[in-house]
Structure 1
C-alpha cells in the first residue's frame, strides 16, 4: 500500500510539473500573439496570469528547501519573476517562468523514465502461491499464507515464505540470499528460506511463518531502513547556488543604489536568472542517462549519475557479479584411458534427459565444444543424486561421486584437494569409473581489465563482500589485487561495511541478490545486475545493468564523467556570459526584455553544448564487444 501511494504521489507531482510548463509556455505564446495584434494591455494580463502559478509553486518549493536548510538557485528565479511583475515587466517575467518550469520538467522527465523502466523490470516478481486445500490446489496471495499451510513450490518458483521441506528432497538456488553459486539439496524436514528459487522438481513446503515475518520480508525492511538513512546527494547546480545568488544580489543592489532606477535592478535579475544552471545541467545529465541506457546501463535519475563521478570505494558482491552465477566445467579428470571428449560426450548425452542446472551446464559445455550427442534411453533420474541410463548401448551413471560410486559398488574417492567452491560430477560406464567433471562458478570474462580501468578512473579502494565461504571468495578473487575480502556476511553486515567505508569517501556497492539489496540502498550509489538478478536488488539500486555484463559498470562511469564534464562546461560558459550581461544591464545597456532575450540566446548556446552528451563515445573496445 505504501509503495502504491508513493507511485501515485510521484505521478501527480510529475503531471503537475507538466501542467506548469504548459501554462507558462502557452501564456508566453498567447501574450506575444496579443501584443503583436495591437493589444498590449491584454498581453500583459496574460503574461501576468501565466507567471503567477509558476511563481506560487516556486515559492512553496523554496519554503520546503529552506525548512531543510538548503539554499538553491530557485531563489534567484523567484526574485527575478517577482521584481519583473512588481515593476511592470510582465514579458520578462513570462520568459523566466518558461525557462524555470522547463528545467524542472526535464529533471522529472529523466527520473520518471527510469521509474517506468524499473516498474516493467519488477513486474516479474511473483505475488501468489499454490496452496494444498481439501485434496486440491488453490491459488492464493502471499498475505493469505499462514503457519502450517502446505504449499506446492513448482520448478522455477520463488519460495514465498520460510518453510520446512515436506517432500523427500528439494533442490533450491539460494544464491540470491547466501551467495552460494550452485543449487543445494535439502532433505525432508530441512528449512528453505523465502526468496530462494526451486532449481529442481516441484516439492511441498510447510510454511513456518507468515510472509511479512519471513527472511525476504526482513531483508526488505533492511532496505527501507537503509534508504531512510541514506545521505542526500547534492546537485551540481546547487553547488553554485550560494555564490551565484550573492553575486546577483550584489550587482542588482548596486545598480539600483547608484542610479536610483529599479528597472536596472530588474534587468540585472532577469539576465541573472540561472537558466544555464536550471537548463544546461539537466539537459546534459538527461542526455547522459539516455546514452548510458543505450549501452544497457539504467541510471535512475540525474543525482546518482552525478554521484558516480565522486566514488572512492567500490564494494563488489561475488556470485552473479564478479562471477557469472552459473556452473561451468573447469577441469575433466580422466581414468582408465578415456579421453576428455569421450567422458564429456557420454555424460552430456545422458544429462540431456535432466533439467538439473548442473546437468544442463554439462550439456551446454559439450555443445559449445562441437560434440555430437547421442540420444539416451532407459533413463531414470534420482532427484538430487544423479541420472542412470543407456548411451550407445552402454550403461551410464552420472551424478555425485558418492552416488555413482555406490551404483558401481565402489567406495567414494578422496577428493579433499578439490578446489574450494567446486562441484564434482562423476561418470561411470558399464560399472567402471571413467572420470570426473569439475564444475565451478568462474570469474566473469573481462573482470580484471574492468577493475584496472576503474582504478585508473579514480576509485581508490575495491573490496569484496559476499555471503559465501571465505575459501571460495579467496579462490575466485585470486590475482585481482583487491584491497579487502569480507566473506560470510549477512545482509545487515554488508550494510555495516558500506557505512564503515564511508569514512574514505562516497561508496558504490554492486550486487545482484536479495541479500545485497540493503547494502545497495545504503550505498551512495547502488548498482544491481538486473538482467538475471533479484527484483529486490534492482528496486533498491540507483543503477541497474540491464545487460548481464560487469564491464558495463566501467562504461557507465565513463558516460557519467563525460556528461558531468559537459554540464560543467555549459555552466561555466553560461554563468560567465550571464555575469557579463548583468554588468551591461547594471550600466543601462540592457532593458529587462532585452536581458530576457540575451538570456534566451545564452540558453540556446549552453543547451546545444549540453546535448553533446548524447554522443559521448566511451571506450571503443567496449562498444565493439557489445556489437559482437
Structure 2
C-alpha cells in the first residue's frame, strides 16, 4: 500500500464487502458474515505484508494496532466490526495520500514548469532547440505564455513577466530593456527578445528544480519520531485492553479498545502538517529541503548573519559623485564608465552599470593600459582619462588632489578618482548599500522569538561595525575566514539552536555546521545552496522572516493535531474499556478523529 491506486482498490474491496453483507443480512446472516469477512481479509493481508516489510527494515509502526484489531474482530466472530475497521483503515490511508498530494502541490508545480525547448535566433531566423543547447549570448524569443528557459536580460524595450512561481507576487512585473529575466518566469505580455546570460544547467530555475527534487525525497524527523514511539503507544493500547479484560472478566472488551486506537493521529497529522508547511513556504519563495529543517527552524533562538549579500546587496553601487570645478557629475561618470568598459574589475562593472542606468552614451576607449587592482588609463573621445585609486590618479595628474575631496566619506565606502587631461575631474563614491528592508527584517525576527542576532563577515572590521551600528546589532565579527565563521557558529550553538544566513562559497562551511543553514537566493553560489537546509529562492531578505513564521506555525499546528488526536484516542479507549463504546461505533469515532486531525494539519497550507 505504497501508492494511491492500490489503496483505492482496498477501499473498494472493503466497501463492497460491507455493502454486500448489509444486503445479504436480509436473506441469511451467515452469508452476511462471509461477505464482511471477504471485505476484511484482503485489507488485513495487505497490512500484514506492509508490517513484515517494515519490520525487515527495523521499523515498528502503529499499523500493528490496526492489524491486531482486525484479527481480534475476526477471531471473536465480530466480522462486521472487522469490516468497518478495514474500511476505516484503508480509507484513512487514501485520505492521507490525498492530503499529502494536496500539500505537495506547490512544490510539484515547480517541477512541472521547467521549459524543455526554446526559440533561438540563428542567422536572422528562428529555430526551436532543446534548452541544453543554449549558450551565453544566445538571443531567444519568449512568446506569450512561455516560461523563460534560462536566465537572461531583456533585449526588447519592455515586457511583462509573471514571477509568482519564484517570488509569490500575485501580479506580473513590468520589465525594461537590460532588466534581468529569471528562468521560470512566464511571459504575461507580448512576445519579447531575451539574451541568455547563463546556460540552462546553471540558471536559477534549474537550480530550484534540482533543490525541490531533493526536498521531495526527504522524510520529516517528526515522522521518524512517530515510528520510534509507536511501540510505546502500542504498549499503552495493550495495557488498557488487558486491564479492560482483567477488570471486567470479559475478553471481548479487548476488541473495542483496539478498534478506537486504529490508526493513531500520530502517524497522520505530523507528515501532513510538515509537508503542508514545506509547500506553503515554497509558494512564498522559500525552499525548505526537508521536514527536519522546518522543525529545526521553529526552534532557532540565535541568528548568525553574513553581511555581504545578506544584509547588504552584495555589490558596490554609486552613492555620490564629487566634482572639481567645471565638471558635471554625469560627464565624470560617462568618461570613467567608457574607459572601464575595458576592465573586468567588479568596481568597473558597477560604474558601467550605473552609467547605463542613467542613460549615458558611452564611448569606445582606446590605448587602454590597466594596472591590476589599482587603476587604468587610456583615451576616451580623444582625451586622456585616468580612473582608479586616489594615489594612482594623483600620481598621474598635474592639478588637483583626490584626497581633498574625500572629507566626511562614510566608513566602508570605495573611492574611485577620475582625471582628464592630467587634471583631477572628481571622485566617485561607491558603497555596498544596506538592504532597505533589513531593519524591519531584524525587528520581525526578534518578534518571532529570535533572542540573539550576530553579524559575521569576512569584510573589514570597521565596515562590519558600521553596518552593525546602523542595525542595532551588538555582536559583530569582521575579517573572518570560512573556518572562523564555523567557529562562531560552533560557539553560538553551545547556548541555543542557531541559523546561519549567507550566500557565498565562503559561507558554505558555516551553513553546513549550523542547526539550520539558510542560503540567500537560488542564484547564489552552488556550494551555499547545497550546504544550506533552506534556500530563499529570490533575492529578498524579507523571505527570511516569512520562512521563520511558516516554520513556527507549521510546528504549532502539527503539535495541536497530535495532542488533540492522541487525547481523543486515549479517552475513547478508556470509554471502550468500560463497555460504553461498541466496536463498530468505536471504529467510526476513530475515523472521525483521523479526519479531524488531517483537516487541521492542512491548515499549514494557508
Tell me if structure 1 keeps the 8 A contact 2:17–2:36.
Answer: yes
Q: Does 2:2 match 1:18? A: yes
Query: Following the alignment from structure 2 to structure 1, what is the Cα–Cα distance between the partners of residues 261 and 254?
Result: 10
Aligned match for 1:292, one of 281, 284, 309: 281
Shift of 1:97: 6.1
CA separation of 1:549 and 1:540: change in aligned 2, threshold 3 A: same
Tell me if structure 2 keeps the 8 A contact 1:562–1:613.
Answer: yes
Within 5 A, what are the aligned runs for 1:421-500? 421-500=412-491
- Alignment match, 1:555: 546
CA separation of 1:335 and 1:446: change in aligned 2, threshold 3 A: same
Deviations 1:533-581 (A, max 9, x none): 2111111111100111112101111122222222233233323332332
Deviations 1:377-409 (A, max 9, x none): 443443443353324x65544334344445445
- Alignment match, 1:272: 261
Tell me if structure 1 keeps the 8 A contact 2:397–2:422.
Answer: yes
Query: Following the alignment from structure 1 to structure 2, what is the Cα–Cα distance between the partners of residues 380 and 565?
Result: 66
Shift of 1:249: 4.1
Deviations 1:270-312 (A, max 9, x none): 3223542222222222222121111211111222112212111
CA separation of 1:605 and 1:400: change in aligned 2, threshold 3 A: same
Query: Following the alignment from structure 2 to structure 1, what is the Cα–Cα distance between the partners of residues 17 and 598?
Result: 29
- Alignment match, 2:586: 595
- Alignment match, 1:30: 13
Q: Does 2:48 match 1:52? A: yes
Q: Does 2:372 match 1:379? A: no
Q: Does 2:530 match 1:539? A: yes
Query: Following the alignment from structure 1 to structure 2, what is the Cα–Cα distance between the partners of residues 372 and 459?
Result: 44
- Alignment match, 1:158: none
Q: TM-score, normalised by structure 1?
A: 0.66
State which drifts further: 277-286 or 92-101: 92-101
Query: Following the alignment from structure 1 to structure 2, what is the Cα–Cα distance between the partners of residues 244 and 305?
Result: 25
- Alignment match, 2:185: none
- Alignment match, 1:181: none
Query: Following the alignment from structure 1 to structure 2, what is the Cα–Cα distance between the partners of residues 606 and 32?
Result: 23
- Alignment match, 1:144: none
State which drifts further: 489-498 or 305-314: 489-498
CA separation of 1:435 and 1:444: change in aligned 2, threshold 3 A: same
Shift of 1:60: 4.1
- Alignment match, 1:84: 70
Is the partner of 2:428 in helix, strand or coil? strand
- Alignment match, 2:600: 609
- Alignment match, 1:140: none
CA separation of 1:387 and 1:86: change in aligned 2, threshold 3 A: farther
Tell me if structure 1 keeps the 8 A contact 2:240–2:257.
Answer: yes
Is the partner of 2:320 in helix, strand or coil? strand
Shift of 1:429: 2.6
Shift of 1:236: 10
Is the partner of 2:322 in helix, strand or coil? strand
Query: Following the alignment from structure 1 to structure 2, what is the Cα–Cα distance between the partners of residues 118 and 490?
Result: 37
- Alignment match, 2:506: 515
Query: Following the alignment from structure 2 to structure 1, what is the Cα–Cα distance between the partners of residues 86 and 548?
Result: 39
Deviations 1:73-132 (A, max 9, x none): x3x4423423432552365256436646975997799899979979999xxxxxxxxxxx
Query: Following the alignment from structure 1 to structure 2, what is the Cα–Cα distance between the partners of residues 28 and 337?
Result: 86
Is the partner of 2:464 in helix, strand or coil? helix
- Alignment match, 2:387: 398
Shift of 1:506: 0.9
Query: Following the alignment from structure 1 to structure 2, what is the Cα–Cα distance between the partners of residues 119 and 464?
Result: 38
Q: TM-score, normalised by structure 2?
A: 0.69
CA separation of 1:346 and 1:361: change in aligned 2, threshold 3 A: same
- Alignment match, 2:205: none
Is the partner of 1:309 in helix, strand or coil? helix
CA separation of 1:478 and 1:380: change in aligned 2, threshold 3 A: farther
CA separation of 1:378 and 1:506: change in aligned 2, threshold 3 A: closer
CA separation of 1:304 and 1:273: change in aligned 2, threshold 3 A: farther
Is the partner of 2:416 in helix, strand or coil? strand
Q: Does 2:314 match 1:330? A: no
Shift of 1:351: 4.3
- Alignment match, 1:340: 329
Query: Following the alignment from structure 2 to structure 1, what is the Cα–Cα distance between the partners of residues 15 and 108?
Result: 37
CA separation of 1:399 and 1:40: change in aligned 2, threshold 3 A: same
Q: Does 2:346 match 1:357? A: yes
Is the partner of 2:492 in helix, strand or coil? helix
Query: Following the alignment from structure 1 to structure 2, what is the Cα–Cα distance between the partners of residues 37 and 557?
Result: 52
Is the partner of 1:478 in helix, strand or coil? helix
CA separation of 1:55 and 1:372: change in aligned 2, threshold 3 A: closer
